[in-house]
Amino acid sequence: MRVLIVEDDPILLDSLTRAMRAAGYATDQAGDGELALGLLRGGGFDLAILDLGLPRVDGLQVLSRARAAGCRAPVIILTARDGIDDRVRGLDLGADDYLAKPFSLSELEARVRALLRRGQGGAPVLTCGTLSYDTVGRRASVGADMLELSQRELSVLEALLFRQGKVVSKEQLIESLCGYGEEVSANAIEVYVHRLRRKLEPAGVGIRTLRGLGYLMDRM
Ligand code: CA
């Protein structure tokens, strides 16, 4: 899962980035509204955290222009404590949730998880075959057995499981694994998928390769 973090306060940007990475998300950062808008228009994000008070282009403008350009990623806006008008305008312009500053990182993380799983019906545990995946603890198990997965395998599993039954392109997998500046090759993706496929087989879960299109996770 790939998260864009837009915040002009470098200290807050840094702590948000650390928290998101520690929670297992690939992250990209923008310190001003213009950069944020360019990144959001480029697509490829599963979620954005958007501060409203930004240099160059303010956050509400970023939001409305990104939505007008077809950006559908869930957006959490960060507002001032007394920014009720901003919250209302932000929600009306297409934000999915908001947090008033100062907020706790654990609350932000919980809201991020809630928005990301909304596409899967909102349950905190996702299932496929006899595989179950706890989105809070980031643990995969088959029956009573916990699956041992590397961080990268876990990221691939999440990307496929959150879009289960749909084709996920190799580019989407690469994007969900790395922030800009970090490299994951297409060959490496094939290796992670191969390993994951072997581990998921006992759960009756298959990862099909659709040549030229990508991968699809489904019950076998
Ligand atoms: Ca700000």
- The predicted-structure confidence for 128-149, as pLDDT tens digits, reads as follows 999 999 988 899 999 889 999 9
Distance from Cα 79 to the centre of ligand 1, integer Å = 9
The closest of 90, 99, 89, 81 to 19, measured between CA atoms, is 99
Distance from residue 8's CA to the centre of ligand 1 (Å): 5
- The rounded Å distance from CA 69 to ligand 1 centre is 23
Q: Are 21 and 9 in contact (CB under 8 A)?
A: no
Q: Which tokens is 188 given?
A: 């490496």
Q: What is the arithmetic mean of pLDDT over 149-162?
A: 92
Condensed to tens digits (0 to 9), the pLDDT of residues 8-60 reads 999 999 999 999 999 989 999 999 999 999 999 998 899 999 999 999 999 99
For residue 139, which amino acid is it? R
Taking the centre of ligand 1 as the mean of its atom positions, its distance from the CA of residue 183, in whole angstroms, is 30
Ligand 1 centroid to residue 59 C-alpha, Å: 9
Residue 138 has what DSSP assignment?
Answer: T
pLDDT on residue 181: 61
Q: Is the pLDDT of residue 119 over 90?
A: no
Q: Is the dihedral of CA 206, 203, 174, 10 positive or negative?
A: positive
Mean confidence (pLDDT) of the chain: 92
Inform me whether the pLDDT recorded for 175 exceeds 90.
no
Q: What is the pTM of this model?
A: 0.85
Gap from CA of 170 to ligand 1 centroid (Å): 35
Span from the CA of 1 to the centroid of ligand 1 (angstroms): 25
The alpha carbon of 48 and the centre of ligand 1 are apart by a number of angstroms equal to: 15
